[in-house]
């Protein structure tokens, strides 16, 4: 389960960036096409955050949908599935969003 | 929710509670950090190191037992005298695979990930230093057998090759699309077993192209030496590309 390693990277990155002694909320962006399961990250978070400035912090996860443009017909479509199919039948879709895996904000104090 | 600036979350507008007397008020700090930034920095370092030495690095991924080590043994036998080849072996435990490759006359370094289900750029960077491959060589990184996690981690490699074997069924590209989307080449292994299975090679290729429209599928048998010219050709062409880039 790579979510444990990913969650560890998230916690490390936040602690690197923020020097405050107590972080009360962490906001992430995990796109629907990112290959990372938000529920697994939630499951790992308490464990990994324990004993750090993030201990007890609330975790908010925003999940941007997949969005892309079909190279065959030009149609722009939304999809939540990593198998991307345009209504025209083409699988050749250029993905514009949905692959996000980012830390976007924290609350401190 | 405002999806443009991320100013709020799924709970909508939220008032932070009045801070208790004497405590610090809550402040929100905007951050913009890629979760895998640390890995990506190390991967970029590996890429520079490889470029300076003119080494082609290939990340070999598959489910457990699809035939990665067998393919490498075969490749060493066929090409080892003309192309210097080194291998970084990733497994959760044991030295079995690196011992097999050393027995085949190859420089090999083993990484044991323990509970970890994939290799990351940091471990591969250390393994590259200890492997110390000669300039102009090919380094194969045999990733941990797993069709899920290795697809997420850039190791600094130039190419990603996914091996699927026909005993796994035709549907794997649809069930594990991230892996097949990451691939530059798909080898379909164990085709010597076709007479014993109900397997649809064209169906598999079609599924691979649904996940990744530009990917080539090369059917091979690593134990019977079938179809491997296509693989060797691909390897030579990519080595030339990387050396002249
Ligand atoms: N019939 C047949 N068997 C094969 C072929 N290639 C590999 N095998 C067998 O499949 C089994 C697993 O092969 P390995 O090369 O160890 O597979 P691997 O992907 O390196 O396995 P892990 O490192 O454990 O993930 C062995 O028993 C091989 O002999 C093939 O082309 N045909
Ligand atoms: Zn995993
Ligand atoms: Zn279309
Ligand atoms: Zn192996």
Q: Is the Cβ–Cβ distance between B162 and B180 less than 8 Å? A: yes
Q: What is the predicted pLDDT for the residue at B23?
A: 60
Instruction: Pick A83's closest partner by Cβ from B3, B6, B177.
Output: B177
Chain A residues in contact with B210 by the CB 8 A cut-off are: 83, 85, 91
Residue nearest to ligand 1 atom 2, measured at CA: B190
Q: Is the Cβ–Cβ distance between A107 and B27 less than 8 Å? A: yes
Chain A residues in contact with B123 by the CB 8 A cut-off are: none
Distance in angstroms (rounded) separating the CA atoms of residues A54 and B119: 27
Distance in angstroms (rounded) separating the CA atoms of residues B44 and B224: 38
Q: What is the predicted pLDDT for the residue at B22?
A: 58
Backbone angles phi, psi at B196, to 5 degrees: -100, -5
- Overall average pLDDT of the A80-92 stretch: 81
- Overall average pLDDT of the B217-232 stretch: 97
pLDDT of residue B28 exceeding 50, the answer is yes
The reply to whether A102 touches chain B by the CB within 8 Å rule is yes
Residues of B162-197 as b/e, b for ≥16 C-beta within 10 angstroms? bbbbbebebebbbebbbbbbbbbbbbbbbbeeeeee
What stretches of chain A show up as alpha helix (H) in DSSP?
Answer: 2-17, 38-49
Distances (CA, A) of B217 to A6, A27, B231: 31, 41, 10
Mutation target to probe the B interface, by most B beta carbons within 10 A, among A35, A41, A86, A89 is A35
Q: Which ligand is nearest to the CA of B163?
A: 1
Residue, of B2 and B130, whose pLDDT is higher: B130
pLDDT tens-digit readout, B39-54: 999 999 999 999 999 9
A45-49, A59-63, A70-74, B63-67: least confidently modelled range: A70-74
pLDDT of residue B121 exceeding 80, the answer is yes
Q: pLDDT band at residue B16, thresholds of 50, 70 and 90?
A: very low
Distance in angstroms (rounded) separating the CA atoms of residues B230 and B213: 19
- Overall average pLDDT of the A76-81 stretch: 84
Q: pLDDT band at residue A63, thresholds of 50, 70 and 90?
A: very high
A83-97, B59-73, B129-143: least confidently modelled range: A83-97
- Overall average pLDDT of the A38-49 stretch: 94
For A1-65+98-108, the fitting CATH number among 3.30.360.10, 3.40.50.2000, 3.30.565.10, 3.30.2320.50 is 3.30.2320.50
SS3 state at B216: strand
In this structure, what token pair is assigned to residue B154?
């850039």
Instruction: Pick B35's closest partner by Cβ from A64, A91, A102.
Output: A102
Q: Which of B67, B96, B165, B225 to mutate to test the pocket of ligand 1 (most atoms within 8 A of CB)?
A: B67
- Contact residues for B58 (Cβ-Cβ < 8 A; gap 6+): B138, B139, B140, B141, B157, B158, B159, B160, B161, B235, B238
Environment class of B53 (CB within 10 Å of its CB; exposed 0-12, middle 13-18, buried 19+):
middle
Residue, of B74 and B4, whose pLDDT is higher: B74
| DSSP code at position A98 | S
Q: What is the predicted pLDDT for the residue at B12?
A: 38
The reply to whether B19 touches chain A by the CB within 8 Å rule is yes
Distance in angstroms (rounded) separating the CA atoms of residues A95 and A76: 10
pLDDT of residue B8 exceeding 70, the answer is no
Residue, of B184 and A5, whose pLDDT is higher: B184
ipTM of this complex prediction, to 2 decimal places = 0.83
Q: Is the Cβ–Cβ distance between B142 and B120 less than 8 Å? A: no
pLDDT of residue B24 exceeding 70, the answer is no
Chain A residues in contact with B31 by the CB 8 A cut-off are: 14, 17-18, 103-106
Q: What number of other Cβ atoms are within 10 A of residue A28's Cβ?
A: 27
Give the strands of the sheet with A66-70, arranged side by side.
A76-79, A66-70, A93-97
Residue nearest to ligand 1 atom 1, measured at CA: B190
Question: Which is nearest to A6 in space by CA: B148, B180, B175, B160?
Answer: B148
pLDDT tens-digit readout, B78-114: 999 999 999 999 999 999 999 999 999 999 999 998 8
Q: How far apart are the first and last CA of chain B?
A: 46
Q: Cα B173 from chain centroid?
A: 15
Percent residues over pLDDT 70 in chain B: 90
Q: What is the predicted pLDDT for the residue at B119?
A: 93
Q: Give the minimum alpha-carbon distance from A108 to chain B in angstroms, rounded to a whole number.
A: 5
pLDDT of residue A23 exceeding 50, the answer is yes
Q: pLDDT band at residue A77, thresholds of 50, 70 and 90?
A: confident
pLDDT of residue B71 exceeding 60, the answer is yes
| Mean pLDDT taken over chain A | 91
The reply to whether A24 touches chain B by the CB within 8 Å rule is yes
Q: What is the predicted pLDDT for the residue at B21?
A: 55
Sign of CA dihedral A83, A84, A87, A88: negative
SS3 state at A94: strand
A35-44, A62-71, B21-30, B205-214: least confidently modelled range: B21-30
- Overall average pLDDT of the A42-50 stretch: 94
Taking an 8 Å cut-off on Cβ atoms, the answer to whether B35 and A5 are in contact is no
Binding residues of A for Ni(2+): 2
Residue nearest to ligand 1 atom 25, measured at CA: B64
Give the position, in ligand 1's atom list, of the atom nearest the Cα of B189: 31
The reply to whether A104 touches chain B by the CB within 8 Å rule is yes
Give the strands of the sheet with B107-112, arranged side by side.
B107-112, B85-91, B138-142, B56-62, B159-165, B185-189, B216-219
Q: Is the Cβ–Cβ distance between B121 and B222 less than 8 Å? A: no
Which pTM does this prediction carry? 0.86
Percent residues over pLDDT 90 in chain A: 66
Q: pLDDT band at residue B11, thresholds of 50, 70 and 90?
A: very low
pLDDT of residue B7 exceeding 50, the answer is no
Q: pLDDT band at residue A92, thresholds of 50, 70 and 90?
A: confident
């Amino acid at each position: 389960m790579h979510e444990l390693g990913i969650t560890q990277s998230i916690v490390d990155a936040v602690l690197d960036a923020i020097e405050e002694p107590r972080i009360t909320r962490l906001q992430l962006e995990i796109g629907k096409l990112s290959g990372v399961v938000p529920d697994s990250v939630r499951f790992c978070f308490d464990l990994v955050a324990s004993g750090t400035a993030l201990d007890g912090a609330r975790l908010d996860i925003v999940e941007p949908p997949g969005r892309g443009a079909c190279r065959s017909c030009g149609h722009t479509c939304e999809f939540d599935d990593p198998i991307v199919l345009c209504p025209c039948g083409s699988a050749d879709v250029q993905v514009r969003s949905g692959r996000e895996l980012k830390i976007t904000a924290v609350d401190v104090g | 929710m405002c999806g443009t600036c991320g100013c709020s979350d799924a709970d909508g507008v939220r008032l932070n509670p009045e801070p208790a007397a004497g405590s610090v008020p809550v402040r929100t700090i905007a951050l913009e950090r890629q979760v895998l930034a640390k890995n990506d920095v190390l991967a970029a370092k590996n890429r520079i190191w490889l470029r300076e030495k003119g080494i082609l690095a290939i990340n070999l991924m598959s489910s457990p037992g699809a035939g990665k080590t067998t393919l490498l043994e075969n490749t060493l036998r066929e090409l080892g005298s003309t192309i210097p080849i080194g291998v970084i072996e990733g497994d959760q435990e044991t030295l079995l695979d690196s011992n097999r490759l050393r027995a085949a006359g190859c420089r090999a370094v083993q990484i044991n990930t323990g509970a970890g289900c994939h290799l990351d750029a940091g471990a591969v960077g250390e393994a590259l230093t200890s492997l110390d491959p000669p300039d102009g060589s090919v380094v194969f990184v045999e990733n941990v057998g797993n069709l899920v996690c290795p697809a997420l981690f850039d190791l600094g490699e130039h190419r990603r090759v996914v091996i699927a074997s026909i005993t796994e069924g035709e549907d794997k590209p649809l069930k594990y699309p991230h892996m097949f989307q990451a691939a530059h080449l798909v080898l379909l292994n164990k085709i010597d077993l076709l007479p014993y299975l109900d397997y649809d090679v064209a169906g598999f290729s079609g599924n691979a192209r649904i996940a990744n429209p530009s990917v080539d599928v090369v059917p091979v048998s690593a134990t019977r030496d079938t179809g491997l010219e296509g693989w060797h050709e691909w390897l030579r062409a990519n080595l030339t590309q990387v050396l002249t880039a």
